Amino acid sequence: MKPLVLVFLGGGLGSTLRFLISKTFNNYFHYFFLGTFLSNVIGCFLFGLFIGLSFKGHLTDQQTLILTTGFCGGFTTFSAFAFEKYELLNTGALLHFAFYLASSIIAGVLAVALGVWLAKVI
């Protein structure tokens, strides 16, 4: 039961922060959901950092669970990301779709790598 509570608490905090970031930043650019993009990239970086710290033994299993599955799982927005891509395709914004899709995936992977690297040097 304790792991479920940890995921629930971390997910609630992550989801709340994602909501605030989306409300603040999603209306800055037409066809680019900056709040979702920032949540995904920051969440990927934090996930990499937390996993890297876990690999080094700096986080307990419970801390890793609340931070990765809980917080990062609630903070990142794959379902919103997928829906936003669907909307871009549905409106015929193919160039915006391709740019946003590619930049989100590339930035996410690079952010995870940066987080893991940072955890190694800490």
Angstrom distance (rounded) from CA 106 to CA 92? 23
| 111 Cα distance to chain centroid | 10
Q: What is the DSSP string of 27-92?
A: TSBTTB-HHHHHHHHHHHHHHHHHHHHHHTT-S-HHHHIIIIIIIIHHHS-HHHHHHHHHHHHHTT
**Does a structural domain hold residue 4?**
no
Instruction: For residue range 83-114, list pLDDT tens digits in order.
Output: 999 999 999 999 999 999 999 999 999 999 99
> pLDDT band at residue 2, thresholds of 50, 70 and 90?
very high
Q: What residues make up the domain containing 65?
A: 37-121
**Does a structural domain hold residue 47?**
yes
**Does a structural domain hold residue 17?**
no
**Does a structural domain hold residue 52?**
yes
Instruction: For residue range 17-72, list pLDDT tens digits in order.
Output: 999 999 999 988 888 999 999 999 999 999 999 999 999 999 999 999 999 999 99
Count of alpha carbons within 13 Å of 78, Cβ hemisphere only? 6
Rounded to two decimals, the pTM is 0.87
